[in-house]
Amino acid sequence: MGRENAEQMIYVIQFLVFLIFVSSVESQLQQGFYDGTCSSAEETVRTAVHNAIQSNRGTGAGLIRMHFHDCFVNGCDGSVLIDSTSGNQAEKDAPANNPSLHGFEVIDTAKSALESKCPGVVSCADILAFAARDSVAVLGGPSWKVRSGRRDGRVSRSSDVASNIPAPTFSLQQLTQSFSSKGLSQDDMITLSGAHTVGVSHCSSFTDRLYNFNSTTPQDPSLDPNFANHLKAQCPNGTSNSSTVVNMDFLTPYLFDSTYYFNLRFGRGLLTSDHALLTDSNTATTVQTNSMNENMSWSLKFAVSMISLSEIQVLTGQQGEIRTNCHVIN
Ligand code: HEM
Ligand SMILES: *[C@@H]1O[C@H](CO)[C@@H](O)[C@H](O)[C@H]1NC(C)=O
Ligand SMILES: *[C@@H]1O[C@H](CO)[C@@H](O)[C@H](O)[C@H]1NC(C)=O
Ligand SMILES: *[C@@H]1O[C@H](CO)[C@@H](O)[C@H](O)[C@H]1NC(C)=O
Ligand SMILES: *[C@@H]1O[C@H](CO)[C@@H](O)[C@H](O)[C@H]1NC(C)=O
C-alpha cells in the first residue's frame, strides 16, 4: 500500500469512528436536542403552560402528576396521552388516571403549535417533560434543564397502571420498593413526594383514614383531629360527591414550597402514603430537614430527582416514533 492510500485509509477509518460516535450520541438524551430542528420547542411549551395556569391555577399540578404517571408506566414515552380505542383500553382510562388526571389540553395546544412550526419533530414525551418542569417553575418551585430527545411509545395499556403507580394506601416499605423498581432511591421518593405541596385529591383517596381506619378504630390516630374535622366537613361519610376535591396542602395549595413537609410533621398530611414518610426515624429526619428547605436544600434536590424521574426507560434514537397527534399512535 502506498503512502497516500494508507492516509486515505486512515481518513476512512476516522470517518467511520466519527459516524459511530455521532449515532451513539444520537441515541442519548441531550440538552437542547431541538436547537437545530425546532429551536422554539421549549419556548412554545412554556407559553402554553404559562397561559393554562394563568386561566386555571390547578392545571400545573395536573401536568406534574401526568408526567409522573407517564414515566412510571413503561417509561417516559408519552403513553399516558394515548386515547383508548375499541380494541384497547389505554393507560389514561385506568382508575388511577380517570377521572383524576387532567391538563391534556395543554399538551395538545403545545403540540399543535409545534406541528405547524416544525412538523414531525418534537415528541409528545418531551413536551410532557418540559410542561412538568415549567409547571413547577410557574408555581414558584425550582427549575432545571430537561435533557430531551425522548421518542413516543406505541403501547398504552390500562392493565399496566395499577401494578406500576404507587397507591395512596402504601406503607413506607411499599413506596420505597415502588420507586426502587424504577431505579429511584428512597430519598428520591421522599423528595418527589413533595410535589404534593400543590394540587388536589378526590375524597375517595383518603376517606378510609376518616371513617374506616380499622375494625375497631374509625379514624387514623396519626391525623391531627382538627385537620380530620376539616376533611370530614368536605368529604362526608358515604355521601361525598365523587367529584369533590380537597387541597393536598391546605396552607399554600398553589405554591410549590416545602409546606408539604411542614404539614406532615403536624399530622396534616392528606394520604396514608404521605404520613408514611414519618414512620421510620431516618425518613422522619429527612422530612424535618426538607420542611425547613434551608439554603433551598429540598428545592435543589427536587430538581435533581425530577431529572432522574424524567429519564426512566426513555426511548431514543430510532426507537418508537414522533407522534403527530399525542392522542393516537401514527
Ligand atoms: C409517593 C407515591 C405517590 C402516591 C401514592 C401518590 C398518590 C396520589 C394521589 C392518590 C393523588 C390524588 C389523586 C386524586 O384523588 O385526585 C395524588 C395527587 C398528586 N400527585 Fe401524587 N402520589 C405519589 C407521588 C407523586 C409524585 C412522585 C409526583 C410528582 C413528582 C406526584 C404529583 C402529584 C400531584 C401534583 C398531585 C395533584 C394532582 C392534581 O391536582 O390534579 N405524586 N397523588
Ligand atoms: C361510615 O359509613 C359506613 C357505611 O355507611 C358505616 O358503616 C360507618 O359506621 C360510618 N362510619 C362513621 C365513622 O361514621
Ligand atoms: C386499630 O388501630 C388502633 C390505632 O392504631 C390500634 O390501637 C388497634 O390495635 C387497631 N386494631 C386492629 C384490629 O387492628
Ligand atoms: C357534585 O359536584 C359537581 C361539581 O361541583 C356538581 O356539578 C354535581 O351536581 C354534584 N353532584 C351531586 C350529586 O351533588
Ligand atoms: C446554609 O448556608 C449558610 C451560608 O452559606 C451556611 O453557613 C449554613 O451552614 C448552611 N446550612 C445548611 C443546613 O447547609
CATH code at position 44: 1.10.520.10
Query: What distance lies between CA 306 and its chain's CA centroid?
Result: 8
144/233 same-domain check: no
- Chosen domain end from 119, 146, 165: 165
Q: How many domains does the chain contain in total? A: 2
176/64 same-domain check: no
The answer to whether position 106 is within a domain reads yes
Q: Flag whether pLDDT at 18 surpasses 70.
A: no
φ and ψ at residue 269, rounded to 5 degrees: -85, 140
- Chosen domain end from 165, 184, 205: 165
The residue whose C-alpha atom lies closest to atom 3 belonging to ligand 4 is: 243
Q: Which three cell numbers stand for residue 270?
A: 392528606
Return the pLDDT at 240.
87
Each residue's pLDDT tens digit, 178-235: 999 999 999 999 999 999 999 999 999 999 999 999 999 999 999 999 999 999 999 9
Cα separation of 58 and 258, whole Å? Answer: 18
Show the domain range for 203.
172-304
Q: Flag whether pLDDT at 13 surpasses 90.
A: no
In this prediction, residues 20-33 reach a mean pLDDT of 70
Return the pLDDT at 11.
55
Cα separation of 33 and 148, whole Å? Answer: 5
In this prediction, residues 108-135 reach a mean pLDDT of 98
The answer to whether position 146 is within a domain reads yes
In this prediction, residues 18-44 reach a mean pLDDT of 80
Cα separation of 81 and 101, whole Å? Answer: 10
204/295 same-domain check: yes
265 CA to middle of ligand 4, Å? Answer: 33
Residues with CB under 6 A from ligand 1: 58, 61-62, 64-65, 68, 100, 102, 166-168, 170, 175, 189, 192-193, 195-196, 198-202, 205, 248, 271, 273
112/234 same-domain check: no
Return the pLDDT at 3.
60
The answer to whether position 89 is within a domain reads yes
42/58 same-domain check: yes
The answer to whether position 132 is within a domain reads yes
CATH number of the domain where residue 213 is located? 1.10.420.10
Please name the residues in contact with 304: beta carbons below 8 A apart, sequence gap of 6 or more. 144, 191
The answer to whether position 4 is within a domain reads no
For residue 315, list its beta bridge partners.
Answer: 151
**Which residues participate in catalysis according to the annotation?**
69
Closest by CA to 103, choosing from 133, 71, 135, is: 135
In this prediction, residues 234-250 reach a mean pLDDT of 95
The answer to whether position 321 is within a domain reads no
